Every structure is written in structure tokens, then in C-alpha cells.
């Protein structure tokens, strides 16, 4: 009985929440039903039937309701709900935060070797990256991407020169650097894309 009451309570909560949604928003939920919990989907179906947007649950078998975004391969995926947006954006920014650690660790290693200038450079770059990412997340202003990409380009160029000056040249290091640069650039652009298409919060 306890589990049954919890399920009913969740269904009622979703129904009350979605009752304020527009017809277009309800249809959007149904078109991307695989992205939602069963209780949320059921609530949207009930509202759609009441508003005569569909005649019955069988209507969801139509092609227009089977074209879920989950089945599309896209370079920059979009989120359809505030919940999925928060989850995806949170994961992206955690990755971007982690990127501040390598230059800081590098700086401390150079400090142990007595290279104070490289220590300041490494720690400074790491802290600057971290603070800019925090600012980007809080302000959601794409203009902050310019200094972030500036740091990426500077680090990429500096590391490339060091690798090129090594004998013999380590090709694997170049490959790792390129992969790191591409991943960093991708997640910055993905964060920008998601922020620009941020879904409305669910009331």
C-alpha cells in the first residue's frame, strides 16, 4: 500500500505541475516521452486527452510521437526538461573544473624543482581557468568563452613547443594534447549551446 500511495502521489504531483503547461509543452513531452519518468508521461497523457490533443494513449504509437531525441545522433544534444538540463550541465562543468588541476599540479612539481616562474605560470593558469569556469556557470554569459579559449590556445601552443623541442619527438604526447584540446573545446561549446537553449523551469 505504501508503494502504491507513493506512485499515486507522484502522478498527482506531475499532473498538477503539467496542468499549467501550454498545449505545445504537453505535446513536446509526449514527443520525447522516453526522456521522462513513467509517472510524468502518464500525467502528460491524461492532460492531453482532457484537452483533446490526443484521443487515447494509442495515439502515441503514431510516428510523430515516436521520434524521440534520444534516437538522433547529434554533435550537440539538447535537453527537453529542466531536470535533464541540470544533470547534463552539471556533468559538463565538473569536467571543466577538473581541467584546472593539471596546470596547478604542474606548477607544484616545478616548485619542487626550484622553477618559481613556471610554478607561478602553472598555478596562475589553473586558478584563472577555474575562476572563469565558475563565472561562466553562474553568469551564463558566452563572452566568458573568449578568455577560456585564450587560455586553451596559450596552453596548447606552449605544450606543443615543448613537445617539438624534445628529442626524440614524442608523437603520443602530441596525440594526447590534441585529444585534450578537442575535448575541452567541445565541452565549452556544448555548455554554451545548452545554456542558449535552456528549458523553462518546471513549476
Rg (Cα) of the chain, in Å, rounded?
24
How far apart (Å, rounded) are the C-alpha atoms in residues 36 and 16?
16
| 28, 106: one domain | no
For 199, list phi and psi in degrees, rounded to 5. Answer: -70, 155
| 102, 63: one domain | no
pLDDT in tens, 5-58: 555 666 677 888 888 888 888 888 888 777 777 888 888 889 989 999 888 888
| 104, 174: one domain | yes
| 24, 121: one domain | no
**Total number of domains in the chain:** 2
pLDDT in tens, 95-149: 999 999 999 999 999 998 888 999 999 999 999 999 999 999 999 999 999 999 9
Range of the domain at 111: 82-196
Q: Is residue 77 part of a domain?
A: no
| 176, 91: one domain | yes
How far apart (Å, rounded) are the C-alpha atoms in residues 80 and 60?
18
pLDDT in tens, 65-87: 776 554 445 677 777 677 778 88
Does residue 1 carry a pLDDT above 50? no
Amino acid at each position: 500500500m505504501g508503494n502504491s500511495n507513493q506512485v499515486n502521489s507522484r502522478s498527482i504531483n506531475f499532473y498538477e505541475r503539467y496542468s499549467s503547461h501550454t498545449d505545445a509543452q504537453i505535446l513536446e513531452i509526449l514527443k520525447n516521452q522516453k526522456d521522462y519518468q513513467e509517472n510524468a508521461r502518464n500525467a502528460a497523457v491524461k492532460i492531453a486527452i482532457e484537452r483533446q490533443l490526443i484521443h487515447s494513449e494509442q495515439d502515441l504509437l503514431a510516428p510523430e510521437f515516436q521520434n524521440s531525441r534520444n534516437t538522433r545522433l547529434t554533435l550537440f544534444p539538447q535537453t527537453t526538461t529542466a531536470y535533464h538540463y541540470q544533470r547534463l550541465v552539471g556533468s559538463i562543468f565538473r569536467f571543466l573544473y577538473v581541467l584546472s588541476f593539471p596546470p596547478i599540479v604542474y606548477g607544484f612539481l616545478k616548485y619542487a624543482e626550484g622553477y618559481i616562474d613556471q610554478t607561478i605560470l602553472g598555478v596562475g593558469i589553473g586558478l584563472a581557468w577555474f575562476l572563469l569556469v565558475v563565472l561562466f556557470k553562474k553568469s551564463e554569459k558566452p563572452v566568458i568563452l573568449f578568455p577560456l579559449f585564450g587560455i586553451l590556445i596559450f596552453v596548447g601552443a606552449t605544450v606543443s613547443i615543448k613537445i617539438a623541442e624534445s628529442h626524440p619527438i614524442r608523437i603520443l604526447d602530441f596525440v594526447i594534447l590534441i585529444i585534450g584540446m578537442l575535448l575541452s573545446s567541445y565541452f565549452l561549446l556544448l555548455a554554451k549551446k545548452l545554456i542558449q537553449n535552456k528549458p523553462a523551469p518546471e513549476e
